[in-house]
Amino acid sequence: MPDGSHLLTIRLRPSPALLAVILIAHFAGAVALFLMNLPLMATIPLVLLLFVSAVLAVRAQAHKRGLSLVLAADGALRVCREGSHYDPWARVLPGTVLFPAVLWFALAWTAQDGRPRRLRLMLIAPEVIEDQRGNTQWRRLRTWLRHRTLESGPESLNPVDVV
């Protein structure tokens, strides 16, 4: 994939604020389900599904501790855990959403035979990035994502950029 050179390495950490927002949204969804007067046999599985989603969101936030994103000039990205080897190079998938306060994007790794191997969704807020120089890393990541999604082909020509 890339020639080994990379533009930027961004260290991540868990975000208590982002976690609180995610949990509040899950709780609000569960309350809304109970207020909809659905049959109990429909409400219980949906609430359990929301609970599993909330647990996965807590795990995803905790997993960001010691994680780094390595951005390459050609649009590839690696996810690296502190003290371990790099994952293979990945690509950002179409459908990236760039809000001023949060980034939502999907990464895909491909196997050697060219088939998709793995998919990972990432939700990143400015406080998730360990940056001693203000928001420099945040701005660079936003710019990099915007350019990568624009260059990935006509089917993804439109990253959603909410300003």
pLDDT of residue 31: 93
| Planar angle of CA 146, 123, 81, nearest 5 degrees | 100
- Give the pair of three-digit tokens for residue 126: 């400015």
The answer, yes or no, to whether residue 159 has pLDDT greater than 60, is no
Give how many domains the chain has, as a whole number.
1
Region 22-44: what's the mean pLDDT?
Answer: 93
The most confident of the ranges 13-22, 65-74, 114-123, 133-142 is: 13-22
Per-residue pLDDT band at 43 (split at 50, 70, 90): very high
For residue 163, tell me if it sits in a domain. Answer: no
The helix (run of H) or strand (run of E) holding residue 121 is: strand 116-124
- Which pLDDT value is given to residue 163? 39
Predicted confidence at residue 83, as pLDDT, reads: 67
d(CA 37, CA 144): 46
Task: Show the domain range for 49.
Answer: 1-152
- pLDDT tens-digit profile of 87-109? 677 888 877 888 888 888 888 87
Residue 14, in any domain of the structure: yes
Classify residue 157: in a domain, yes or no.
Answer: no
Whether residue 158 lies inside any domain: the answer is no
Q: What is the pLDDT of residue 5?
A: 60
Q: Is residue 71 part of a domain?
A: yes
In a domain, 72, yes or no: yes
pTM, rounded to two decimals: 0.70
pLDDT tens digits, 76-85: 888 888 767 6
Q: How far apart are CA 86 and CA 7, in angstroms?
A: 16
Q: What angle do CA 135, 119, 150 make, to 5 degrees?
A: 55
Kindly give, in sequence order, each residue whose CB lies less than 8 Å from that of residue 95, ignoring residues fewer than 6 positions away: 105, 106, 156, 159, 160
Q: Which of 68, 85, 69 is nearest to 144 (CA)?
A: 69
In a domain, 33, yes or no: yes
